[in-house]
Copies of this chain bind each other. A is one copy, B any other.
């Protein structure tokens, strides 16, 4: 299997075998974090990180990943770039991407929330970069997808269903487990990328999937179709409910997270304030210990930062079945594996 040069915009576009290859390498890298086997993989090479939106965790994990592979990640804020738009003079993505391909071994891009004016625009920009760049383009979270989070999620859940964090990843353990992805209330008007990626990767690896949210918080219909299709292919169930409790029944993994409504972008504007108000209207949508009792001793999972008191209670988030720190740690390992496989050459 040769992943050298491959872009990663969503796990849905990679085969299950390819995703498993990343997870197996990540598991080995986690077991032997600073082994000589890994610390020269990107020696003297540069990973370019474009943060249209800031992010502490994504920055830390990607930059540490490059350092641990012997390379260096450059933290770039493209506000400094004068890109051509319909209205303003500036550089084309073609020119920018072609030059970067001469300097770097890979390019990560994060763009979502207020840095886009309509859902899908971030995804288009990443695809335009991927079209012109000769080096791999990796999503560091964009409006549609968050593949590195999805990989870290699957890795964390499989670890917990197996011998525990750091003791290897067997994704077949996810088969037949029930994943509940449920909306949580909150004031953060969050993007769809993390939850959508969770739906996709959970269903790819053979989980039963239930998606729960109040009326008016539909996600991307294409992602829903893919999730359904993944479930069909694996002979598993996919269900959508607007009942706040129902999805918990028998769940093995509960993923409670706020997200914005499909009305968040209107006429090129991100209506954050309106979304914040809307997001606070459903205080009953919170993951708490009582609901967790309905599950099959489910893990609590979240891509962090957790909005405690809104998306989940402290009791659950800090409870014995919370895998949030392990999943967060896995961001580092899956990203190291991904960089090694796509950017390192022979």
The interface of chain A, by Cβ under 8 A from chain B, is 34, 39, 43-46, 48, 54-57, 59-61, 63-64, 67-68, 70-72, 74-76, 78-82, 84, 88-92, 94-96, 98-100, 102-104, 186-188, 304-308, 310, 318, 324-325, 328-329, 332
Contact = CB atoms under 8 A, between A and B. Distances in A.
Given A57-B99, A89-B186, 12 more contacts: A46-B63, A46-B68, A56-B80, A59-B76, A60-B103, A84-B308, A90-B307, A91-B307, A95-B305, A96-B305, A98-B325, A103-B332
Nearest to A60: B103
A76 to B, nearest CB: 6
A56 B81 contact: yes
Contacts of A44: 34, 39, 67-68, 70
B102 A310 contact: no
A67 to B, nearest CB: 4
B56 A78 contact: yes
A66 to B, nearest CB: 8
State the main secondary structure of chain A at its contact with B. Answer: mixed
Nearest to A67: B72
A234 B57 CA distance: 47
B89 A187 contact: yes
A64 B74 contact: yes
Nearest to A76: B56
B56 A96 contact: yes
Contacts of A74: 59-60, 63-64, 75
